Amino acid sequence: MLRTPTGGAGHGTAPSGDTLLSIGAVLGRLRVEFPEVTMSKIRFLEAEGLVEPRRTSSGYRKFGPQDVERLTQVLRMQRDHYLPLKAIREHLDALGRGERAPLPS
């Protein structure tokens, strides 16, 4: 089920001067720490509003360093703390607003 992003990641978080990566390049970076991650998982996390990469005029995803870091945080919270996506989104949104946001237990 596709969800409308609810905030936190912004609309393409990479500033225009940053190097942008394809989904395949992002997958290669993430697999170093998360060997089980797939392109489908990255697309799912985007559909859930946890990351919002830029899009080219032809619709290809382009991820900036902040997007890759956010994906890394999401995957770590899932793996290390067994948190549901809703709790992860709320935590990251609070951090984005500058609030102190301890991880839910």
Global pTM value: 0.80
Question: Region 51-58: what's the mean pLDDT?
Answer: 96
Q: String of b and e for 37-57 (b: at least 16 CB within 10 Å)? A: beeebbeebbebbbbbbbeee
- Using a pLDDT cut of 90, give the percent of the chain over it: 75
pLDDT in tens, 72-97: 999 999 999 999 999 999 999 999 89
89 lies in which domain range?
A: 23-96
CATH of the domain at 62: 1.10.1660.10
In a domain, 66, yes or no: yes
Report yes or no on 103 lying in a domain: no
Number of domains the chain is built from: 1
Answer yes or no: is pLDDT of 15 > 60.
Answer: no
pLDDT band at 2 (very low <50, low <70, confident <90, very high): very low
What are the pLDDT digits (tens) for 30-43?
999 999 999 999 99
